[in-house]
Amino acid sequence: MKRREFILMLGGAASSLARPVAVEAQQAKVSRIGVLVVANPEPFSSMFRDALRDLGYIEGQNLQIEFRSAEGKSTALPGLADEFVRLKVDAIIAVQTPCVQAAKQATKDIPIVMAPAADPVGTGLIASLARPGGNVTGLSFVTPDLQGKNLELMHEMLPAMRRVTFLGDVADANAEPFLNQTQVAGRVLSVEVNSIMVKGSDAFEPAFAEMIRQHADAVIVQPSLPRKPIAELALQNHLPAISPNRGFPESGGLMSYSGSLAEVYRKAAVYLDKIIKGGKPADMPVEQPTKFELVINLKTAKALGLDVPSSLRIRADQMIE
């Protein structure tokens, strides 16, 4: 064998040996993500994971997800956000406004994806939708503006409705805008709007007792509150309830009108993908929902003795049997 051929052969062998090592090193890079939720992580968890798989992420191979739930107690959110900082996660996905607030208070360095937050500009979470600045970006859910629509839909369900209670979340900075929008719509519809603000799950039963004392005809629920326990209490107290959160009727509530959660959760995965690939939250415009959905739980309507008007049936995107 000639000397030149021998050298080329050695070089080829070295290259073939080095290539698997390089590929293995690349595959060994695992992004660690923190997901912060107020209560039940579903349906966010399944939809978000499906979207990540579509983007090529496989848990245990190139992605590790740490879920933390406050289990309905908003006071636990700051401690959970601090835990993500100690874990040195690569990004935080914060589901609903109180989670985004807690995450932003915990860190100015770790990228945060809102999934979603209501009115993030008005609450000071970002500088603007086009250029959020800082370490926060993601999805805005504009739900304060939808409160009027939720009251209109409930009025269509209950034409004789005269008193409504707004059940607000003390930990959510959007509670006041939510209430204001509901009261504006109430004046137009000649519906009295009272408010009860709650801080944790132990306050839910007293809140419903107060609604009964006030002779409320229906309830409008702020979407950052835990869905299932409130839906159950509304049914137990024979009070029709609506929330701008699709998960609410899926958990037993009567109705919801909101932006498409499936769209929001899918886009949250897209934001995360961009951040993992080096994108800066400050330069990523915040998106708003483009699709809105009306969901009605017919089983709950029947249990409440309500006959859903044909006008609502026709417009509903989904009716849960």
Q: Is the omega angle on the peptide bond into residue 206 within 30 degrees of 0, that is, cis?
A: no
Please state, in angstroms and rounded to a whole number, the distance separating the CA atoms of residues 180 and 182.
5
Domain 30-141+260-291 and domain 143-259+293-320, same fold? Reply is yes
What rounded mean pLDDT belongs to the chain? 89
How much is the pLDDT for 14? 45
The type of residue at 22 is A
| 134 or 178, higher pLDDT | 134
Q: Is 34 helix (H, G, I), strand (E, B) or coil?
A: strand
CATH assignment of 30-141+260-291? 3.40.50.2300
Of 83, 73, 128, 77, which Cα lies nearest the Cα of 110?
Answer: 83
How much is the pLDDT for 122? 84
- For the chain, the structural domain boundaries read 30-141+260-291, 143-259+293-320
How much is the pLDDT for 143? 58
Of 243, 166, 152, 254, which Cα lies nearest the Cα of 211?
Answer: 166
| pLDDT tens for each residue of 174-215 | 888 889 989 999 999 999 999 999 987 889 999 999 999 999
Residue 300 scores a pLDDT above 50: yes
pLDDT band at 53 (very low <50, low <70, confident <90, very high): very high
| pLDDT tens for each residue of 151-162 | 999 999 999 999
| 141 or 281, higher pLDDT | 281
CATH assignment of 143-259+293-320? 3.40.50.2300
Mean pLDDT to the nearest integer, 137-147: 78
Give percent helix, percent strand, percent coil of the chain, each to the nearest 5: 45, 20, 35
Residues whose CB is less than 8 angstroms from the CB of residue 10 and which lie 6 or more positions away in sequence, other chains included: none
DSSP string, 90-129: SEEEE-SHHHHHHHHHH-SSS-EEEEEESSTTTTTS-S-S
Specify the pTM: 0.77
Q: Which of 7-16, 34-43, 236-245, 284-293 has the lowest mean pLDDT?
A: 7-16
pLDDT band at 21 (very low <50, low <70, confident <90, very high): very low
Q: Which of 20-29, 134-143, 222-231 has the lowest mean pLDDT?
A: 20-29
Residue 315 tokens read as 């417009």
